[in-house]
Chain A
């Protein structure tokens, strides 16, 4: 066999690619936003990641182009040999367009860092979007498992097994005393980061959130929140994760996070109860207005959308809004992000055109038939 292979035409990076896989993904909402699983009215997702490095390569910062290519090739070749991973799809992130990379970031399948890095790098994603393996991020491998709702133990079982499979063909950098070696000493040891994303709007409305977090300060967890534009827009999403990675077992680190989450759920439930008892009319008014704005706005930014969707989500979960399905809200959180919006509309849009498209998209899915149906599009 010595036929000449037809040369591949150069790939264009400027268009929104109508790739079947991407269209399929865009239509779905991703495992972590399914809005199911234990405590899913408050806990959005449970995520675990492991940082791993190949033993016979320098860490990424000291890798030249050739090294990065060899790492990528090695990892892909080894993963191909694992029969349990035959369904996994590998994406060459360096070849992806800007909007495709952003699309993966919005779905939390890759990090912003991997999207923005240079050189050979990629991500392997399973069809159910429950796990992904980033290649050549800050470490050679970042293995991640994400589940909807609160399910750390299931997520751990899955990632532990995945790690075993990879380790059966890849020699990891490991030190008897310091454990799995990572580019940054803040990740060394277990290489484990456990993160639970929570929706805590009632704690925000009742202005208790800072107090609650301060009371948790002694425990070794990090809580991070995202606010937009001063007091004007607030996101109400918070992420609880372990702070350290060395000196404790994976199970102990998971427990640190697992112990904090029920406390936060309890505080949030009490705050919701308090709001219903003390000021139901005000709350009802607030969430209804939020829905009104989302249904009627003619241009709207993604931060503003996030802010009002958060209120509507609270209203739906408290039964104050009863004609919108929570599944629809969950999907809208991700479908109104910039890259998703462009994918779903099938064209590249500038920021101000996006605001117009976003408003029309919201209107389409929050009024009439759309608001009860989970199959958006």
Chain B
């Protein structure tokens, strides 16, 4: 028998016992079995694809417009998130909120956090988003080999970090 994901022989037969569709046997080569087992939940992309499919059945196919929607802070598009199952930055939960909320309901049953909260006062979400955006611009400047611009941005990041940290530590 061949591995489900490649041409190598399947030497691992893993039973996913409590999946959404009941017990399911996966036939995998050693390498893919490792990857599979190292993930603690059924692959996130699969979970998200499943939740999205459920959502589509309920009649909410993401429009081309939604697919192209981009986070202004990290630049990730909704399409890219849907493909990889991974978000780009904390601000995505705000920017894509209307798309994510039904997804979260499908995955978790309830969309509101009721557990532990950080004890210290939250730093302004705006300045955090600005920092993430600046870091992205700096990486882009480095990629363009525009080191002058990069070092200018680095200074701005340092200033912002310093003002954010004032009083909380050091």
- Residue ranges of A at the interface with B (Cβ–Cβ < 8 Å): 49, 53, 55-62, 64, 66-67, 70, 81, 105, 111-113, 138, 160, 163-164, 167-169, 171-181, 183-190, 192-193, 195, 210, 213-214, 216-217, 220-230, 238, 241, 243-250, 253, 303
Q: Please give me the residue from chain A that is nearest to B165 by CB atom.
A: A171
State whether the Cβ of B57 lies closer than 8 Å to any Cβ in chain A.
no
Query: A113 and B110: CB pair below 8 A?
Result: no
Query: B12 and A226: CB pair below 8 A?
Result: yes
Q: Out of B76, B85, B108, B119, which one reaches A62, CB within 8 Å?
A: B76
Query: B75 and A248: CB pair below 8 A?
Result: no
Q: Out of B15, B33, B76, B116, which one reaches A250, CB within 8 Å?
A: B116
Query: A64 and B142: CB pair below 8 A?
Result: yes
Chain A residue numbers with a CB within 8 Å of B75 are 62
Interface size of B by CB at 8 A reads 68
Query: B113 and A226: CB pair below 8 A?
Result: no
Question: What is the predominant secondary structure among interface residues of chain A facing chain B?
Answer: mixed
Distance in angstroms between the alpha carbons of A223 and B15 in the assembled complex: 9
Chain B residue numbers with a CB within 8 Å of A230 are 13
Distance in angstroms between the alpha carbons of A322 and B98 in the assembled complex: 62
B10 to chain A, nearest CB (A): 9
Query: A221 and B88: CB pair below 8 A?
Result: no
Query: B115 and A190: CB pair below 8 A?
Result: yes
B163 to chain A, nearest CB (A): 12
Distance in angstroms between the alpha carbons of A184 and B92 in the assembled complex: 11
Q: Please give me the residue from chain A that is nearest to B114 by CB atom.
A: A249
* A112-B35, A113-B39 known; A225 vs B138 contact (CB < 8 Å): no
Q: What 0/1 pattern do residues 45 to 64 of B give for CB contact below 8 A with A?
A: 00110000000000000000
B64 to chain A, nearest CB (A): 22
A341 to chain B, nearest CB (A): 16
Query: A175 and B44: CB pair below 8 A?
Result: no
Query: B90 and A227: CB pair below 8 A?
Result: no
Query: A57 and B118: CB pair below 8 A?
Result: no
A136 to chain B, nearest CB (A): 14
- Among B15, B85, B122, find the residue whose CB has the most chain A CB atoms closer than 10 A: B15
Query: A188 and B132: CB pair below 8 A?
Result: no
Query: A59 and B104: CB pair below 8 A?
Result: no
A331 to chain B, nearest CB (A): 22
Query: B113 and A186: CB pair below 8 A?
Result: no
Query: B136 and A58: CB pair below 8 A?
Result: yes
Q: Which of B106-140 contact A (CB under 8 A)?
A: 107-120, 122-123, 127-128, 131-132, 135-136, 138-139
Chain B residue numbers with a CB within 8 Å of A55 are 90, 123, 128
Query: A222 and B90: CB pair below 8 A?
Result: no
Query: B15 and A184: CB pair below 8 A?
Result: no
B124 to chain A, nearest CB (A): 10
Distance in angstroms between the alpha carbons of A229 and B114 in the assembled complex: 43
Distance in angstroms between the alpha carbons of A321 and B56 in the assembled complex: 57
Chain A residue numbers with a CB within 8 Å of B4 are none
* A66-B138, A243-B41 known; A188 vs B90 contact (CB < 8 Å): no
Chain B residue numbers with a CB within 8 Å of A62 are 74-76, 88-89, 136
Query: A66 and B40: CB pair below 8 A?
Result: no
Chain B residue numbers with a CB within 8 Å of A187 are 41
Chain A residue numbers with a CB within 8 Å of B85 are 184-186
Chain A residue numbers with a CB within 8 Å of B135 are 57-58, 64, 66-67, 70
* A58-B88, A230-B13, A250-B115 known; A175 vs B93 contact (CB < 8 Å): yes
B111 to chain A, nearest CB (A): 7
Chain A residue numbers with a CB within 8 Å of B22 are 214, 217
Query: B139 and A66: CB pair below 8 A?
Result: yes
Q: Please give me the residue from chain A that is nearest to B1 by CB atom.
A: A230
Distance in angstroms between the alpha carbons of A57 and B132 in the assembled complex: 5
Query: B114 and A248: CB pair below 8 A?
Result: yes
Query: B38 and A217: CB pair below 8 A?
Result: no
Query: B107 and A244: CB pair below 8 A?
Result: yes
State whether the Cβ of B86 lies closer than 8 Å to any Cβ in chain A.
yes
